Amino acid sequence: MKPLNDVISACPPSGIRRFFDIAAEMDDVISLGVGEPDFVTPWRVREAGIYALENGYTTYTSNHGLLRLRELICADLADRYGARFSPRTECLITTGVSEGLDLALRVLLNPGDEVIVPEPCYVAYEPNVAFAGGVSVRVPTRWEDDFAVDPAVVEAAITPATKAILIGSPANPTGAVQPRAALEALVALAERHDLYLISDEIYDRLTYTGTHTCMSALPGARERTVLLGGFSKAYAMTGWRVGWICAPQQVADLCVRVHQYTMLCAPHVSQIAAVEAMSGPGSDVEEMVADYDRRRRVFVKGLRELGLDCPEPGGAFYAFPSIRHSGLDSETFAERLLHEQKVAVVPGNVFGPSGEGHVRCSYATALPQLEEALERIGRFLVTCSDRAE
């Protein structure tokens, strides 16, 4: 048989899913692995979806998505951040942010174009760059600096082949919220070297220790930025698969062109539910965010009391503690913790070289489960210490 696609064949399976699949076959496992809210979608949103089904909204929508949803998204971005987009020409509803990332990279890149990716980063970034024909150029961040991006390190990585910088803030896996000054410096770099910016802001509402900075709202950024967002995390709507792209018209037009030949549109019912999510009262989101914040403070404090250095996660719902004192590498730590104490975490190295020596723990889990997980991790660390002696 002739060989299959070389790029896809060379792409490793998701390191997150590997540990999730192992944990799923075990009993009494506390999973801190998959980044999914443990809340159910708010009832008012589910009811809107049920109503849509009962009334036969089971057809395609416009390739762009429901205009009402696009209007709400653009109004929200303008109200909260001062980022202004036309809902008719500069906004597209996607099948989750995952599709939005894929579309943005396909539209921006020609074969061989380089994309600078600060890491540790979400596991899908580099494969999506490769699938679009591009080349990822990793730049490291350091836990000692709370994983803030260093613009000087980014600039040193720029070559004549560089086309874009891809960044997520708040970040998966670190929970880092990039300082406004760092983002402004990246915009200045993009202007100076004529680069695009791809800003993954799916966790923008899950910010605890400061104010979220929207990349597209920064001076000089709008005309070169592709802004990605969605409903999965803050609204607990992972299975509904609704995301969005806001970008300059020439970029948005080409994203729609790919979208109409692949996904066609996001699910009609899901878009109607998303309209309710954005147009109804925001108290349910505020309550979920406040609960995540409580868990964050308890869990990070507990990790530190166990002797695990843990940067303060300013957003998302991940802690990224250092496990270097255990004497184990990330993969070994995660595997042994799962098999010996039945706690599932994700080894940090799957998110890039700077993630080695860390594990990702999702605290989108009920507080009693988090407290039990801390006890089990503590017992495991004692075992590691005993073996080291």
Q: Kindly indicate the confidence band of residue 35, based on its pLDDT and cuts at 50, 70 and 90.
A: confident
Check residue 14 and give its pLDDT: 75
Provide DSSP, 32-85.
Answer: --S---SSPPPHHHHHHHHHHHHTT--S---TT--HHHHHHHHHHHHHHH----
Check residue 340 and give its pLDDT: 94
Asked whether residue 266 carries a pLDDT value surpassing 90, the answer given is yes
Q: Which residue has the higher pLDDT, 11 or 302?
A: 302
Terminal C-alpha separation, the chain = 54
Cβ contact 274:69 at 8 Å = yes
Contacts of 64 (CB under 8 A, 6+ apart): 70, 88, 91, 92, 93, 256
Could you report the per-residue pLDDT of 245-265, keeping only the tens digit for each? 999 999 999 999 999 999 999
Q: Candidates 3.40.640.10, 3.10.20.600, 2.40.40.20, 3.30.1330.10; correct CATH number of 45-279?
A: 3.40.640.10
For residue 184 the two structure tokens come to 């402004």
Contacts of 239 (CB under 8 A, 6+ apart): none
Task: Calculate mean pLDDT across residues 276-291.
Answer: 92
For residue 19 the two structure tokens come to 């540990």
Cβ contact 345:16 at 8 Å = no
Could you report the per-residue pLDDT of 92-134, keeping only the tens digit for each? 999 999 999 999 999 999 999 999 999 999 999 999 999 999 9
Domain 6-41+283-388 carries which CATH code?
A: 3.90.1150.10
Sort strands 196-200 and 162-168 into parallel, antiparallel or unpaired.
parallel
Check residue 385 and give its pLDDT: 66
Could you state, in order of their start, the residue ranges of all structural domains in the chain?
6-41+283-388, 45-279
| Consecutive H or E run containing 4 | none
Contacts of 46 (CB under 8 A, 6+ apart): 40, 273
Check residue 353 and give its pLDDT: 96
Handedness of CA 298, 208, 196, 76 (dihedral sign): positive
Taking residue 71's Cβ as centre, other Cβ atoms within 10 Å add up to: 17
Task: Calculate mean pLDDT across residues 23-52.
Answer: 89
Q: Kindly indicate the confidence band of residue 282, based on its pLDDT and cuts at 50, 70 and 90.
A: confident
Task: Return the closest-CA partner of residue 315 out of 236, 197, 234, 261.
Answer: 234
Region of residue 112 (left: phi > 0; alpha: psi -120 to 50; beta: else): left
